[in-house]
Amino acid sequence: MQALAKTRQLGVVGNTSFSKRKRVSAEACLSLPQITPYYSSEHITLYKGEAAEILSSLGENSVDCIITSPPYYGQRDYGVEGQLGLEVHPQLYIDRLVAIFHQARRVLKPAGSVWVNIGDTYWSGKGKSQGVDTKQKYRRFDRPQDKTGERPWCAPKQLLLIPHRFAIAMQADGWIVRNDNVWHKPSPTPDPVKDRCALTHEYVFHFVQRRRYYFNATSVSVPSHGRKATKTPPSVWTIPTTPSGKMHRAVFPEQLMTLPIQATCPPNGVLLDPFCGSATALATALAASKDRCVIGIDISEEALKEAKALLPPDNTNMP
C-alpha cells in the first residue's frame, strides 16, 4: 500500500481549478506542438502514447466532446509497457484514470461533455491463473485481482464497484455527473457462476463541467405516449454486443456511441477518444457528419494500425 499512499501524497487527484478558458476554433485540435501525430489527415488525427502525456500537449478548449472506454481493471493484458488496468491496487487504477481526465478537462470546451464506458470486476485472491478460463479466454495472465489483497475492499469474491468509485472520484475532482447510464446486454459473455446473478450490464457515465452545456435533446428524443409527441431517452440502453472481426479484443458496439455523439458533439465539432483502440467512436462520429474532426490516442501501435486502416479515407497530411 506504500505506492497507494505515495500516489495520494503527490495529489494525483485534486480539485485544482483552471483559469477562465478561451474558446478556440476546431482547427486548433489538429496542432500538437510537442508530439508528432502517428497519423494526420484533414479530419482525423491519431497519436501514439500515454493518454495523460498526449492530452497535456493538446490545445486548450479545443475539443467539443470526449467519448471513450478505458481498459477495465485487470481484464486485459495488451502487452504494452505502461498500459492502464494492471495496477496492483484498484485505488491506483482509479487515481490514474481520474488524473487522465483531469488533463482532459483542460482540453475540453466549457460546454463539452465526457462519456465513459466502464465495467466492473471481482477480487479473486486465488493466486496466479492456471489452465483454461471457461469464462474469458483472454484472462489467462497475471491479474492483480488474483493476488492476496487488502481487506475489506479486496476480499475474495468482492465486487469492487470500480465504476461508481471512479464516478465519485471524478465528482471530487470537480466534474458534474449527469447520468450513470446502464448498458444492458441482452446477449452478454457467458458468466457461469452458481452463487450470484450473472453480470449483464456496464455503465456509461456522462460528465460535464457546468450547469449549462451543449445537449441536442431533439436529436436523441424518443416517441412518447403522453401529451407530448417525444421525450428524452431513458438511462437504460439495451444494446447487444456484436462480433466486430477486429483484432482489438475489447470493442464496444457502434450503437452504444450513437446517443452520446448525436446529443453532445456538434455536427462540425471535434470528438476525442483518449483510449481509441480500433477507433469505433471516431468512425461512428465521422459517419454521422462529414464536417467533424476526430482525435484518437492509444498506447498500442497495433491498435492504431488497425484504427488507421478502418477509418474512412481522408485527405492525408502524412505518408
Cell readout for 294 is: 476526430
Per cent of the chain over pLDDT 70 is: 79
pLDDT at residue 16, rounded to an integer: 35
Range 241-244, long-range pairs (CB < 8 A, 24+ positions) = 241/185, 241/187, 241/188, 241/189, 244/278, 244/280
Burial of 208 (0-12, 13-18, 19+ CB in 10 A): buried
The 3-state secondary structure of 176-240 reads EEEEEEEEECCCCCCCCCCCCCCCCEEEEEEEECCCCCCCCHHHHCEECCCCCCEECCCCEEECC
> Would residue 317 count as lying in a domain?
no
Give a yes or no: residue 314 inside a domain: no
Please give the average per-residue pLDDT across 94-110, as a whole number. Answer: 97
Q: Is the per-residue pLDDT at 133 higher than 90? A: no
Q: Across the chain, what does the average pLDDT equal?
A: 84
Rg of the chain over all Cα atoms, to the nearest angstrom: 20
User: Looking at the predicted structure, is the pLDDT value of residue 158 above 80?
Assistant: yes
pLDDT (average), residues 144-160: 85
Residue 318 falls within a domain, yes or no? no
Query: Into how many domains does the chain fold?
Result: 1
Quickly state the pLDDT bin for 28 (edges 50, 70, 90).
very low
Domain that holds residue 78: 2-11+24-126+137-308
Element (H, E) at 162: helix 162-172
User: Distance (Å, rounded) from C-alpha 319 to C-alpha 317?
Assistant: 7
Whether 131 is covered by a domain: the verdict is no
Q: Cell match 486548433: residue?
A: 28
Tell me if 186 is assigned to some domain.
Answer: yes
Structural domain contains residue 18: no
pLDDT at 222: 96
**Cβ contact 59:25 at 8 Å:** no
Spatial separation of the C-alpha atoms in residues 73 and 85, rounded to whole Å:
4
Q: What is the CATH number of the domain that holds 94?
A: 3.40.50.150
For cell 457546468, what's the residue?
210
Is 319 a member of any domain?
A: no
Residue 17 maps to a domain: no
Q: Say yes or no to pLDDT of 76 above 90.
A: no
Q: pLDDT per residue over 248-275, tens digit each?
A: 455 678 999 999 999 999 999 999 999 9
111 and 175 Cβ atoms separated by less than 8 Å: no
